[in-house]
Chains A and B, each alone.
Chain A
Amino acid sequence: MTEPIIQVKNLHKWYSGVHALKGVSLDILPNETLGLVGDNGAGKSTLIALLSGTEQPSEGEIIMEGRPVRFKGPRDAMNEGIETIYQYNSMVPTMSIARNMFIGREPLKFSFMGIGVMDGKKMATESVKAIADVDLHLRSPNALVGELSGGQRQGVAIARSMYFKSKVMILDEPTNHLGVKETEKVIGFVRSLKGLGITSVFISHNMHQVFACCDRIVAMDRGELVLDKRIEETSIEEVHKVL
C-alpha cells in the first residue's frame, strides 16, 4: 500500500453552534485526483478550510506524509505544500499578474524583520515563465488580474500553485461562474496535474466535471462522508442517490 499524502482523522468543526464537520476521516493518496461533492452546506469548504489552514479543527487531526501537522494559518499549509484555489478567486483584481503571483511570498533583494525591497525583475520574468508553463500566454505580467477572464484568472492561480511546487492542490469550485469553454480549460488544468505528480482535490457541484477529471469520488452530506469510491466503480446516478 502506498502511504497517504494526507490523512484526515476524525475531524470535527463547530462554528458557534453549527456542527459543520462531524468526524470526517479520509486518506488522500499521492498523485490521485480526488473529487469532493455534496450539496450546499455539506461541509466541503469547511474541510478545505481546515486543510488549507484558514480555520483550525475543533477536534481531530491532520497527518501530512506521516507527520501530524497543525496549521495556525494559511502560510503554514502552504509551507507544507498545500495550495488552495477558491471559487471566488484567490487573486486581488486591482493588482498586476506579477504581484498576484507572489503575494505574501515576494522575492526580496534584502529585508529587515520580514519587510524588504521586492525583486521586481524576478517577479516579472518568473511569472511569465510560470504562466507559460500552464500553457496560458499573456502579453504582459503587468496587466491587472481584474482585466483577465475568469478562466484566465484560475489559470494564473494554478500557475502560481505550481510555481511554488505544491504537493497538494485544492480547488474549491474553481469552475463557478465560468463559461463552457473556460470551464473546459480549467478541467484541462486539473487533468494535467496528475502528469506533474501533483495530488489534487477538486470540488464541484457538477458531476460531469468531477467524472471528467477525477480518479476517486468522495461525497459529503451534512458534515459526514457518505460515499468514497474509485470513479470506475461508481456512476453519476449512484452519487446522486446518496446525496
Chain B
Amino acid sequence: MQYQSPASIDEAVAALASIGGACVLAGGTDLLVQLRSGTASRAAVIDVKNIAALRAIAETADGFRIGAAVCGADITEHAALVAAWPGVAEAAGLIGSTQIQGRASLGGNVCNASPAADTTPALIAARAVAEIVGPNGKRSIPVEQIATGPGKTSLASGEIVVSFLLPTRPARSADAYLRLIPRTEMDIAVAGAGVNLTLGEDGTIADARVAIGAVAPTALVLDAAPGILVGTKLDEATLATLAEAAGAAARPIDDKRGTIDYRRKVVGVLAKRAALIAYGRAKGAR
C-alpha cells in the first residue's frame, strides 16, 4: 500500500486520479480501522492533513468555513465558532473520546457515510455546504447530497471535500444536536437529531430546520419541521407533533443496537429535546 502526503489540493486530486484504488486519509479513525479489520483495502492512501486549506477554520463574509480535515478538538476549542454554531460543535465534540477528538474530522465523518455519523445531521440542519474539488474543477453541494447510502457517497472518483461552509445567520439563531447511545462515550448513535432555529423578536420561531440520523440509510431532512415549528414558541403540543413527525419520517432497521420501534420513539424524543435546547440558546443569543 502506498502513502502520499501532498501539500496542495491540486496534488492531492492528481494523486487520487492517477492511482487506481486510492482514497483520502484524514484522521483515519474510520479508514484505519477498516483497513486493519480487512473490511476495506486500498492501493494508496492520500493523506490530506498537510494541506493548509483543509486544516483551517475561517470566519468569512459568507460564514464560517471549516476545513474538511480539521479535527474535533480544534472545532470545540474555537470560541467564535462554538458561539455561532453550538450544535455543530457539540456534534463534532461527541465523536469518540479525547484521543479520537485529536484526529476525527468533519470530512471523514460525512464522507465515511455511516448512517449514524454524528456531525452529518447537525451540518444538514445548519444548511452546511460542502465545497468540493475534483479532476473537473470545483463544485458546492449541500451536505445532505453527499451520502447516498451506508458507506456510499455522490463524490466522483478523484473528488475531495475541501471545506464546509456554515452560512452567516440572523440574530437570535442557534442550533443543537443530541444523540442516544447506551454508554456515555465511545459508542455509536442509536438515533440522533440536529435542530437549527431562528427566532423573531418576541421569541416566535421564524425559521427552523431539523435533520435526523441513524434512523435511515442516510441522515434525513425532516421536511415537516418548518411547518410544525415556525410561528410557535415550542409549546407542549408543538413538541409532541415534532416528535411524532420525526418518528414517522424515520425509516429505521431492527438490529443489535435497537429495534425499529425504539428508534422511532427515541428519534422523536431527541428532536424534541434538541429543539428545546436550540430554542433556549437562540433566546439567549445576540
Q: Do A and B come from one complex?
A: no
